[in-house]
Amino acid sequence: MSLLETAGLAALRRLDPERAHGLALSALRAGLAGGRGPFGTPRLTCRIAGLEFRNPVGLAAGFDKNATALDALYRTGFGFIEVGGVTPRPQEGNPRPRLFRLTEDRAVINRFGFNNDGMEAVATRLAAHGGGRTGLNLGANKDSPDRAGDYARVLAYCGPHIDFATVNVSSPNTEKLRDLQGKAALSALLAGVKEANAALTRPVPILLKIAPDLTDGELAEIAAVAEGQGLSAIVATNTTLGRDGLRSPHRDEAGGLSGRPLFERSTRVLARLSTLTDLPLIGVGGIGSAEDAYAKIRAGASAVQLYSALVYEGLSLVDRIAKGLDGLLERDGVRTLAEAVGTGREEWL
């Protein structure tokens, strides 16, 4: 991390977290972040659902909800980026404050509640985007009479401008949203999304993002539904409602916990899920180093996503993880990333 980035992060951490996040996006749009695009080698190239990524380090949904800084974010080194969650209509989300740094725990708690500009504004920005693998996290309006139908509507509207879509039924910040992870409700929701996808001129891979707070039985049901509906991959995991071992004064704030404390929980879910399905998995939760990314891959992930660690490490972390991961693969004599997937899952079961 450069001295300039260190000073910038220190200044941002003196501000309210949500305001600091907004300023970071403004700085990106102004061209203040460097980088020449994603680092890649033949070892790092990964393929999921027919899509090839130069490296397996992605940006998780939530950082650039409204697709306002995509080109700048790709220059920092991400192999792929997921924007959103996006709902059919714009919505304000939950009252502020709704974002909290847990510095002592290297963690974040958020209870945003799908605040976003709505599918029309986001689709316009996606259409103007200059390149790079881009996915969209689909959401539902809080007051919608048909939340399941909202997912299909967003995909139908934004689908022509994205490379993949993620069905997000695992956010803890919209009341009763996680109820859609149940077998019957999830099957019905995915059927609607599949119908909307089939109607696109260029159908896209459909992913499902799950919570880390599921039982083994619930995981098995979700894996079976995902396979039965012909999904392309599963994203494991979203934020957790757990609060074990936290030290920060903000530890009891309501919302989803992400960052370092989520790493073990999410990686165990990932490893367990890899025994239940042959679908590709994307590992998310607590990644803050190349070693963390490698652990996720060895637990069963074909690619990974970051978010919370950027609050503490800055965007240069993306390039450091990609290059560090390449070095770890070379050290272990691994010729391609795919060869490493799942080789260490027993450590997490």
d(CA 110, CA 284): 16
d(CA 38, CA 56): 10
Q: Is 179 helix (H, G, I), strand (E, B) or coil?
A: helix
| Chain Cα centroid distance, residue 125 | 19
d(CA 301, CA 269): 11
Active site residue 187: no
Of 2, 144, 170, 171, catalytic: 171
Burial class (CB in 10 A: 0-12, 13-18, 19+), 326: buried
Cα dist from 125 to 84, 128, 239, whole Å: 12, 5, 27
Helix H segments across the chain?
Answer: 3-12, 17-29, 70-75, 119-128, 147-158, 183-198, 216-228, 263-274, 290-299, 309-313, 316-331, 337-340
Rounded (5°) CA angle 108-110-116 = 130
Q: Which residues are annotated as catalytic?
A: 171
